[in-house]
Structure 1
Amino acid sequence: MDRTDELQKAFSYRWLIFVILALAYLFVYFHRTSLSVVAEDLVKDFNSTASVIGLLGSIYFYCYAAMQLPAGLLSDSIGPRKTVTFFLLLAAGGSVLFGLASSLGMAFGARVLVGFGVSMVFIPTMKILSQWYRKTEFAFMAGLLNAVGGMGVLAATWILALMAEAWGWRYSFELIGVLTVVIVILVWLIVRDRPQSKGWPSIQELDQTEPPATIPLGQGVKRVVKNRYFWPLAIWFFFDCGVFFGFGALWSGPYLMHLHGFSRAESGAILSMTAWGMIIGSPLLGFLSDKILKSRKKVIQLCTAILVLDILALYLGAKDIPIPLLYLIFFVFSVCSSSIVVIGFTSGKELFPVEMAGTSVGTVNLFPFLGGAVFMPLLGKILDAHPQVSQGVYSPEAYSSLLLVLLISCLAALGCSFLMKETY
């Protein structure tokens, strides 16, 4: 086989790998945001409180954050394909167990399995893509992957709401677990860590470039945390993603049902705008950053400022916001709190040499999930601080307090954006 044939086969096969890994990443976002449309059911089924359900949602983020550095180590040692296969199987088991949970303890155990399982998809996928795609293609593929994550949000809001209405939330999570097993099988049978595993030359050889030197993990982490421009970005991630995960991934569903009186299906339809925001916004913000503004910092500042206005509209509008405006508000919320992370990760990568891109992204990736871990139970405690209207149903005053905390957090994120370094 000559060089042209090898090039053609490798370039065709890598798209099959991307599709399978993107499907795996879809389930990462599904589990990340899935509790928002079933939170009310969980409060009632387990006879619990918003604080406890908030903690149940946050367990995912604690597990995810804890595994970001080990994800890089395991990808480098046993390989990303084996890492994704084993841990995604754990996530499948956790999803089935969550559907079968007869107690809160069992539900917490299931969410721990899910959190550990899906935590090992993003960084191994980034490593595999770095082996199959050129450096000039990598940012586009990362944006495309995040757009597929938006489809996971769509599945976790609109589609899960329809499934829960038809079959109940328990059977829905069991079915998701079975579908995850199918993805696991595809990963094992088709995905390969690098072109050389198929007998093809590496991307570096095809491009006639030298592979980058490696920097030890410990040395790389020290360089990251000692960089003064790393911390404004990291704290921005904490607040921005804390707002998105705490509200968008958990309490936005009860907010729409309790404050506005929507059914689960109607709430799911509005929440699906968070998915469309990611699907449309991720590549759009990449284009805005690369081609129009030619800046990372300006895009982050612009989106964070719009996010402040977006949350302010929810806070001031209370229950009087028209339905079409709610659709727009949740779309903008997603673009400015979730799609924007593509620019944040790009900025984090560009702060450091390419040789330590994995370490820098892995380190900064701790902070979005710490934000989710803190904000989910924090917002639950805020709701519990107010009297319930009925079992599992919270008052307008409770949601007003919740939105005020989100607004203050967005202002803190905006302040951090002015302290960042321009990395374009």
Structure 2
Amino acid sequence: MTTADHAPAPLSRALLVWGTAIVAYIVAILHRTSLGVAGIDAVERFHATAAVLSLFVVVQLVVYAAAQIPVGVVLDRLGPRKLIATGAALMAVGQLGMALAESVPLAIVARVLIGAGDAMTFVSLLRLLPSWFSPRRVPLFTQLTGILGQLGQVASALPFVYLLHEGGWTTAFTTVAVVGAVAAVLVVALVRDRPAPPAPGEPHEAPHVVHAPRPDAALVDGVLPDLSLRAVLRTPGSWLGFWTHQLTAFSLTTFVLLWGYPFLVLGQGLTPQEAGALLTLNVIIAIVAGPLLGEFTARRPARRSRMILVIAVLMVVAWASVLVPATPRPMWQLVIFIVLLSLGGPASMMGFDFVRTSNPPGRLGAATGLANMGGFLGALVTTFAIGLVLDVVRPDGRYVLDDFRIALSVIAVPFAVGFVGLLVSRRAVWREMGRLPPARGA
């Protein structure tokens, strides 16, 4: 007897639970990206060099990445609701710390709290999906999760920047902290880990589904699966998810979290408003591309990795188009750059589908955490390396385009590593496919 990881529930109830968790995720992205648009203000407030400024983001990313597997293991045991609420509360405290901090050490402590809370949010939200939606709908809702979460980036690029410039540092970050606290309360009130089992005799949509008391109690083909972390690490599909996320997400994350705004304003000569509009375009592209890639994933699972490789090549071409020329690019070319770079967001979400189709429900949290580490490990190394190079080539901090061209070129290394990792892990999945159903291909 096989149990599904989802239970029958009215779609309206499923959407309410998912929508509330999405609100928490949007606020988490706002917390995550707020320092990126406040980078120039942070230099003045903390009298920081480029290396110190990048350290704020790197510390946040180190905590985020390091927490992924531990959070995933705890998630499989405690459930998504507790972790999403705890994460929202931690980030609210962290943003309040940023509002009050006037020294680098205090700001770093605040970023640690934000990174820890952020680490609990996304993987927990993904863990909700198979509990509330049918397997056919999960790829689409995975993409929608990534898309809607990026509204937090829009909030940091527009209303947060307005608050920062009009009300000042303390007002802007305190406001975001209050929003985070409200998100935590909403999660506690409205989110549940899974639908309640129907009462005896009560009609429901899928009578064949057997309700397991815990997600890790589900049987797979009548056998209790190995739910250990070791099993996650031995599964090729887990690593294919890791390298997919690394290859497609790391440069976009680096660009959005810190170096994109200075590059566009100081390197390309755009106004803050123009730079904010381009950063917002990233979200629009995700809204368009995400559902298309989600439907492609559901219909053509055996071609997922091929699509990932195509998108990664397009991202490399996009970076070359703005880093090779020695003069600022016209706006139309920067728009194309952002469009191609932004494809990495929805493409990285495809990595979680490799995880979902390669692991039993009871270890999805740990496996999702492993995959989610990929892009953020690449981003933290890249972000810090860019800051170090900028300090070497322009110690006075008066950056020009050539400085960014040199510093941002370090992205070539993680791109190369990501391509190799993806190809190696894909071959491992192909070898395993000899004993797996075709739908679980790559």
When normalised by structure 1's length, the TM-score is 0.88
Q: Contact 1:296–1:343 (CA<8 Å) still a contact in 2?
A: yes
Q: Distance in 2 between matches of 1:159 and 1:201?
A: 51
Return the match for 1:403 from 403, 408, 423.
408
Asked if 1:105 is matched to 2:115, the reply is: no
Q: Which letter does structure 1 place at the counterpart of 2:38? A: V
**Corresponding residue for residue 4 of structure 1:** none
Structure 1 residues 87 and 227: alpha-carbon distance in aligned structure 2, compared to 1, 3 A threshold: closer
Q: Contact 2:238–2:370 (CA<8 Å) still a contact in 1?
A: no
Deviation of 1:410 after TM superposition, in Å, equals: 2.8
Q: Contact 2:21–2:125 (CA<8 Å) still a contact in 1?
A: yes
Unmatched runs of 5 consecutive residues or more in structure 2: 1-6, 213-217, 431-440
Deviation sequence 1:270-307 (CA, Å, 0-9, x none): 11122222222221222334447961011101100100
Deviation of 1:415 after TM superposition, in Å, equals: 4.1
CA RMSD of aligned residues (A): 2.8
Q: Which letter does structure 2 place at the counterpart of 1:41? A: D
1:369-388 paired onto structure 2 within 5 Å: 369-388=376-395
Q: Distance in 1 between matches of 2:149 and 2:372?
A: 16
Q: Distance in 2 between matches of 1:203 and 1:216?
A: 34
Q: Which letter does structure 2 place at the counterpart of 1:398? A: D
1:203-242 paired onto structure 2 within 5 Å: 206-210=206-210, 212-213=218-219, 215=225, 217=227, 219=228, 221-227=229-235, 230-231=238-239, 233-242=241-250
Deviation sequence 1:321-341 (CA, Å, 0-9, x none): 111321231122111x22211
Structure 1 residues 8 and 369: alpha-carbon distance in aligned structure 2, compared to 1, 3 A threshold: closer
Structure 1 residues 233 and 192: alpha-carbon distance in aligned structure 2, compared to 1, 3 A threshold: closer
Q: Contact 1:83–1:124 (CA<8 Å) still a contact in 2?
A: yes
Q: Which letter does structure 2 place at the counterpart of 1:89? A: A
**Corresponding residue for residue 69 of structure 1:** 69
Deviation sequence 1:135-155 (CA, Å, 0-9, x none): 222222111111112212222
Q: Distance in 2 between matches of 1:242 and 1:39?
A: 19
Larger mean Cα displacement after TM superposition, 126-135 or 17-26: 126-135
1:11-410 paired onto structure 2 within 5 Å: 11-196=11-196, 206-210=206-210, 212-213=218-219, 215=225, 217=227, 219=228, 221-227=229-235, 230-231=238-239, 233-291=241-299, 295-335=303-343, 337-353=344-360, 356-388=363-395, 392-410=397-415
Q: Contact 2:146–2:349 (CA<8 Å) still a contact in 1?
A: yes
Aligned length: 413
Q: Distance in 2 between matches of 1:127 and 1:134?
A: 13
Q: Distance in 2 between matches of 1:404 and 1:317?
A: 12
Q: Distance in 1 between matches of 2:301 and 2:77?
A: 40
3-state SS in 2 of match to 1:195: coil
Q: Distance in 2 between matches of 1:60 and 1:202?
A: 48
Structure 1 residues 148 and 207: alpha-carbon distance in aligned structure 2, compared to 1, 3 A threshold: farther
Larger mean Cα displacement after TM superposition, 237-246 or 339-348: 237-246
Q: Which letter does structure 1 place at the counterpart of 2:388? A: K
Q: Which letter does structure 2 place at the counterpart of 1:360? A: A
Q: Contact 2:232–2:238 (CA<8 Å) still a contact in 1?
A: yes
Q: Contact 1:42–1:53 (CA<8 Å) still a contact in 2?
A: yes
Q: Distance in 2 between matches of 1:201 and 1:405?
A: 62
After TM superposition, where is structure 1 displaced by more than 6 Å over at least 4 residues in a row? 197-205
